[in-house]
Amino acid sequence: MKVLVLGAGGIGGYFGGRLAESGVDVTFLVRERRYKQMQERGLRVQSIHGDLHLEQPQMIQAGEAAGPFDVVLLSNKAYTLTESIDAIAPYVSEHTVVIPLLNGIAHMELLWDRFGRERVLGGLCFIETTLNAEGDVVQTSPIHDAVFGEWEGGKSERVEKIEQAFANINGTMRASNNIQREAWHKYLFIATFSGITTLMNSAVGPIREAAYGVELTRQLAEEIVSVMQALEAPIKPDIVEKQMETFQNQRPQTKSSMLRDMEKGLPVEADHLQGYLLERAEQSGLSTPLLKVVYNNLKVYELKREEGK
C-alpha cells in the first residue's frame, strides 16, 4: 500500500514515520524548508515509545510527479487547509482515500466538496507531540493512536484493508465503526482542553488546583455540548462526565498543542475549533459566555501576533 503523508510535523512526522518503520511505502509531501531539513537530518522521532530515525525518507514537494497513492494522510493545521487541499489534489485519483487527522469537523465539508464524499474517510488522532528547534518530532504521551473509518458508519472492505496494512506500527492506527461519534467526542475534548489551557495560560495541573479551574472546565464543556446537541451531533448523553474524568486523569504537565503553539508564537486554530462552535451557537440562539471569552482570548493573541510581525 502506497501512502502519501501531507506534512512531516508533529502528527505527520510521527505517524508517517511509524508507518515507514513498519514497512509501509510512505512518501512525505513537504514544503521546501522542511524538505531541506529532512535531507540533512532525515526524519528523527524522540518518543517515550522508542526513538526512530529514517535516514532517507521518501519526500516530494508540491507539483512533483509521484504516485499513484492508495491513501493520503492529512496532518496539517486547519489554517492551511485550502493550501493543503490544493497540494494533494494532483495525487488523489479515483482509487485514493483521503484520511484527515485534523481536529474539529468543519474541514469535512471542504474535503467533500473538492474530492467527493466517496473518497474521504473520517479520521482523528490522540497524541501529544511537537517539533523541537532542530525539527525533530518529540512525542511524550502514553497514547499514540490514530482512528479512521467510513463517515456513515460500518467497516467497509477498503477500511479493513487499510487497517491491515497499518497493523504493525509502533502505536495504533485502528478502524472505527462509528467515526462520526468519535470525531465529535474528540472535538468536544480538544475544544474544551485547548480553550481552558490557553485561557489560563497553563498546563493541566495548576488549572485543577486553582479554586474554580475544574468548575470552569466543566462549564466550557457543557456550553460546547449544548451547541453540538443543537447540531444533532451523535454524542453520548454522559460524555461530559467521561471527559471530565479524562481531564482529571491527565498528567499535571500536559498542555494542549494550541497552548504550545502560542508559546512558540505560531498561528492557532481558533476559527476552526472555537469559532465554528460560536458561529453555530449564534445561529441556534444559544448563550455560550465562557466559549466567547475563550475565543476572544485567542483572537487577541492573533491580533497581537500580527502586530508583532
Catalytic residue positions, numbered: 186
User: By C-alpha distance, which of 218, 217, 211 is closest to 197?
Assistant: 217
Max intra-chain CA distance, the chain: 57
How far from the centroid of its chain's Cα atoms is residue 98's Cα?
14
Pairing outcome for strands 145-149 and 122-126: antiparallel
Burial of 160 (0-12, 13-18, 19+ CB in 10 A): exposed
DSSP one-letter code for 120: B
Region for 305 from its dihedrals, namely left if φ exceeds 0, alpha if ψ lies in -120 to 50, beta otherwise:
alpha
Instruction: Say how many C-beta atoms besides its own lie within 10 A of residue 303's C-beta.
Output: 10
Pairing outcome for strands 2-6 and 172-175: unpaired
Cα–Cα distance, 125 to 101 (Å, whole number):
6
CA angle 91, 128, 82 (to 5 degrees): 30
Burial of 31 (0-12, 13-18, 19+ CB in 10 A): middle
Please name the residue that has the C-alpha cell 474517510: 121
Q: Per DSSP, what are the bridge partners of residue 148? A: 123, 175
